[in-house]
Every structure is written in structure tokens, then in C-alpha cells.
Amino acid sequence: MSTHLPLRSLLHRQCLALPTSKRAFSTTPTLERNLSSTRKARQSDPVTIAVATRYQRGKASSSQNEEQIRDVRNLPDDIGLVPGTFVHAPMFPLTRFSLKNRIWYEWKWIRARLTSWYQLRRFRQEIGGKPNMFWFSRKNRQMLSQDAILKYKALYESFAKADFKTISALCASGVAKEFQTRLASRPAGVRMQWDVQGEPICKIVSNIAMPLELPGYESTGVHQVVFRIQSKQTLKLRESEEPRKKKDQDFASTSSDIVEYFVLQKQFIRGRAKGWKVFGFTDFSTPKSIEETEEYARKVNAYQAA
């Protein structure tokens, strides 16, 4: 049976225990109340084991700290959306705004665009090496959009096939763990096949970067690009892998355009660029999210200035 519904919506309804996160800010989970389960998770965490093995007893604490700073594996790849990220809402939600709120919203968008251009220029100067910021060249922006579409398709195809190895290679650690949790919640015996009809329409709606002030990590930062991807998706579900004698019947014949805001992130560590990773999904900016983002930006700036 097949249905013309977005993969995330269908999997959330039938196979997932957790809701889809918009990942507006950091996905670092809150501390668990159950201390025994926390200790157990730490004991089985390969990163924790590797760190404990490397830093054995007998070394001075200062020496351990220096080694930890030099080891890039201790640098997180998921720190949340860059403060100042603004995704302009489509026309329909804006029609509900009063004239005053609409003017306020458009002013915030213009201000965010100007700020992001300034941040990209500053980032390019501080990181060194003149990395491509994808701000003016139409050809470069089209190439990046094509890369986003390929990663978008690969992510959903891997998710449908329960191929966590590919998901882990495509994604930053935070969203990879989310997908791992959802795959673990999928009922046994369910088989899925995802497909997209035609070529998705992809447009860059946010482009922003931020240097990170971290001890021992000069010329380090993150570059994030948000894409608006519109597509028609099909998901086929089967309860087992055994071939059916009868032809599968359509579960639903509803076809709809799916719009998602897809985020790619590139890390720069000590001036060296890593490959683009899937940061996750977000949503368009609302007055409430704008206020939350501005408050978050103030806290980040205060922390870095301290």
C-alpha cells in the first residue's frame, strides 16, 4: 500500500514515539533524573571509554586539559542554530498579521539579512583561507542547492530503509541520535520505501555563519544554510519482506506538496573546513521565535564577551 504523504508525518503517526523536533536551538538533552541509567549510558558510550583510556592516572591535570583541547573529537558538532537565523514566513501566515506587526516583521527580516551578510564577511576574514560563503554567486548557490537535494533524498531513503550507518555519515550528532531513537521505536516487521515525484524545488532562505571563541581553537566556527524544499513524496509500507501474491492496493490516494526547511552545516576547525552535514529541520520565523532567538543571541554574546 502506498500513500502520498510526507515521510516524517507518516512515520510520526505510525512508527515513532517521539515528536519531530524543529531544532530551533541546541538538541542537547536535559539531565536524566535516573542516575543509575545515566551512569550505565556513560559506561557504554564509546566516546567516554576512549577519553577515559587516553587520560589515565599519572598525568598532571594541566597536561590532560591540554590534550583534551587539542583533540578535535571533544569539540561538539551540534551547538544549535546560529543566533540571528531568520526564515521568512510564506505569504499566508503573514496575512493574519496586523499592519503594525507586519511592518515589524519585515523590518526584522531586513535587519536579519543585513546582519547575516556582515557576519558572513566577518567570518570569512577571521577564519582565513577565503572560504566560499555562497552569498552572491548564483552558480555556487545552485550547486549548493543541488547538494542539499541529494542529501535530503539520501536522508529520507536511509530513514525508510532503517540504514543508520548512512544517516550517521550524513548528519550531525544531535539529529543522528534523534533518528536512531525513532528507528528504535519502529515496529518490528515494518518495511518502508520512500520516493519523491519529480525534482524537488529548493531555495536558500537563510545563510549565516558564526566564529566560535573557544580556548585552543583559533579560526573555528560554523556556517549554516537553510533551504526551503518543496516536493511530492510517496511512502510505501509493508508488514513483511515476503513478496505478496496480490498487487498492493493504495492505502490513500491523496497527493500534496510538502514544504520543509532543511538545514546544512559546515564546521571550520582551526581554519580547516569539514564537509556539509545535515543539521536537521527548522520552521519559518514567527514573532515568538524571533523574540526567543534574540534573547538567545544576547546570552551567547554575553557569554563570549565574558
Q: Give the span between the Cα atoms of 90 and 105, in whole angstroms.
A: 12
> What are the φ/ψ torsions at residue 21 (nearest 5 degrees)?
-85, 135
Note down pLDDT in tens along the chain; length 306 residues: 433 444 444 443 333 223 334 443 333 333 333 434 444 444 455 544 454 555 445 455 555 555 555 566 667 788 889 988 999 999 888 888 889 989 999 999 999 999 999 999 999 988 888 888 887 788 999 999 999 999 999 999 999 999 999 999 999 999 999 999 999 998 888 888 888 988 999 999 999 999 988 788 888 999 999 999 999 998 888 776 555 554 554 443 345 679 999 999 999 998 899 999 999 999 999 998 998 888 887 887 777 676
Class of domain 2-22+91-305 as given by CATH: alpha beta
**Non-local CB neighbours of 283 within 8 Å, separated by 6+ positions:** 22, 24, 87, 261, 289
pLDDT at 163: 95
Q: For residue 56, what are the CA distances in angstroms to 39, 49, 66, 71?
A: 19, 11, 14, 15
| Contact present, 75 and 214 (Cβ < 8 Å) | yes
pLDDT at 5: 41
> 536551538: which residue's cell?
25
Domain ranges of the chain: 2-22+91-305
pLDDT at 271: 86
Q: For residue 6, what are the CA distances in angstroms to 11, 156, 231, 240?
A: 9, 10, 9, 22
| Contact present, 1 and 230 (Cβ < 8 Å) | no
What is the reported pTM? 0.73
**Non-local CB neighbours of 216 within 8 Å, separated by 6+ positions:** 66, 69, 70
pLDDT at 87: 95
pLDDT at 45: 52
pLDDT at 12: 38
